[in-house]
Amino acid sequence: MPSILESQWLGSPVAVQHLIRALIARVEALESKRLKDEHRVEVLESMLLQEEHRIEALRERLELNSSNSSKPPSTDSSHAKRAHHPRSSRKRGGQPGHRGTHRALVPETRVDELHTIKPQRCRDCGNQLRGADPHPARYQVVELPRVKPHITEYQLHTLTCCSCGLPTPARLPEGVSKEGFGPQLEAIVAGCTGLYQLSRRTTQTLMRDLFGVKMSLGSIGACEARASIAVAQPVDDARQYVARQVIANVDETCWFVSHRHATLWTMVTAMATVFLITQKRDRQGFEEVRGDFLGLLGSDRGVVYEHWPTTLRQLCWAHLLREFRRMSERPGASKRVGAALVSETQQMFKWWHERQDGITTDETFLARMRAHIPHVEGLLLEAANCPQRKTSITALRLLEVAPALWTFAVCKGVEPTNNAAERALRPAVLWRKKSFGTHSEGGSRFAERMLTCATTLRQQDRNVIDFLTECSIARRTGRRPPSLCPSPRSRA
């Protein structure tokens, strides 16, 4: 404002001075009000921007489904966006050139009942036929006989000595206990509830209808407890075996113990898989399940795995593909770079499957990946500079662990996804949904051990019921149980 000389001010009438002071006060008041209004506008604009971000986050959350997040397909609504796949012109069923799967005939030495059928007369002229066909057509029918329980009674006599008068009771033979059920029946009960995921009541009905054995629910629980004890040592051996391997995949899922939140972990190797239930989903739980393992680890981007060296880690590209799809569904620059990352990931998977199927060689795959890696990392750098905040944060975090993206490309035996661990968890998730988890410490140990036995034996193509039966016999006789670790032949 223009200044007034003191002589001019003193020479001004008093009324003018009062007017000028009033005008100056008025101007200052209006200026203060203007500043307050501007600050209020800035606050409102900031609140509006935050609300827009919140609405955008809620809208994105509403559109999450199994194709752009880790949600299971069972949670998809009927309105969820699904990838459009053009209808194929091929007919359903086996295609031309497909090698069918047929049930192989067992050798005649294993046939229980053999019927030789010969035609009596010629189908044209009616003359009587003689001789035998050197290569007759074979047709086998497999049937199950009616199963009846084999009940053995032991009558224990107590005899009194004629000399000293001391009574001596007889003892049960070695391997025979007072539990009332044999090792195979115990194995079948544990298999029904722990492997085939039947409820105790359904198992009770099955034992009665299929085998003619009446059991109480308490007896079924006792069989589970004894089976859990019988396989404890083999499961511990499997944990040590897994810890000695070079490559493993790990994953976790929600579990319940006595209706409280817990975590079920799994660690998968080529020939053995172990499970563990812990109270929390934290680093301590991960340390418990991994034991002494120090090799290459395949996992998702969970926080509990962030401390693992990036040079010894492989991130799951199936999860990343869903992240990229989510980027492509956002507006603006995120849509373009997200679509490019989706395309590059799908191309990489195509090359990977061609290598696995033997269509291309390892050298060809490696040469393709050498050109592919810089291109994908360039797209991630572009996404990191994207104005869309979530896209930028995701890309920055991936660039921080970039070596963990490409371990599969240079290390033989490492897969680009964590599907092995996720497949291992699926039976456990079904168990949790049907039984709401476990209800005691012993029940949790039973679940861990049965899941470990079932998955590991399936990997090694071994019979689960036979294994549980052998473990039950070993527990009764005090012998060492069979091992869950693969034999040299199975490893070969």
**Mean pLDDT per 10-residue section of the chain, whose length is 492 residues:** 73 84 88 89 86 76 68 63 56 71 85 90 88 90 87 89 89 80 92 90 93 92 93 95 95 92 94 94 91 93 92 93 90 90 93 89 91 92 90 92 92 91 92 88 94 95 94 91 82 50
* Gap between the Cα atoms of 229 and 187, Å rounded: 12
CA torsion sign for 125, 131, 133, 139 is: positive
* Gap between the Cα atoms of 338 and 70, Å rounded: 17
Burial of 200 per CB tally in 10 Å (0-12, 13-18, 19+): buried
> What pTM did the predictor assign?
0.78
CA-closest candidate to residue 233, choices 445, 487, 21, 396 = 445
* Gap between the Cα atoms of 129 and 246, Å rounded: 68
Q: Where are the alpha helices (DSSP H) in 132-182?
A: none
pLDDT score for 75: 65
Tokens standing for residue 474: 């070993």
Tokens standing for residue 414: 């490492």
Q: What number of other Cβ atoms are within 10 A of residue 412's Cβ? A: 7
Backbone φ/ψ region at 291: left (φ over 0), alpha (ψ -120 to 50), beta: left
pLDDT score for 173: 85
pLDDT score for 1: 54
Query: Are the C-beta atoms of residues 248 and 269 closer than 8 Å to each other?
Result: yes
Helix (H, G, I), strand (E, B) or coil at 321: helix
pLDDT score for 83: 53
* Gap between the Cα atoms of 246 and 235, Å rounded: 19
pLDDT score for 492: 46
* Gap between the Cα atoms of 468 and 470, Å rounded: 5
Q: Report the b/e string of 136-162 with b at 16+ CB within 10 A.
A: eeeeeeeeeeeeeeeeeeeeeeeeeee
For 299, phi and psi rounded to 5 degrees?
A: -160, 175
Burial of 488 per CB tally in 10 Å (0-12, 13-18, 19+): exposed
Domains annotated for the chain, with CATH where assigned, are: 235-312+420-460 (3.30.420), 317-410 (no CATH)
Per DSSP bridges, beta strands 247-257 and 296-299 are: parallel
Return the axis-axis angle of helices 317-328 and 333-356, rounded to nearest 10°: 150
* Gap between the Cα atoms of 448 and 349, Å rounded: 33
Query: Are the C-beta atoms of residues 304 and 284 closer than 8 Å to each other?
Result: no
* Gap between the Cα atoms of 384 and 396, Å rounded: 5
pLDDT score for 67: 67
Tokens standing for residue 340: 């490019």
Backbone φ/ψ region at 173: left (φ over 0), alpha (ψ -120 to 50), beta: beta
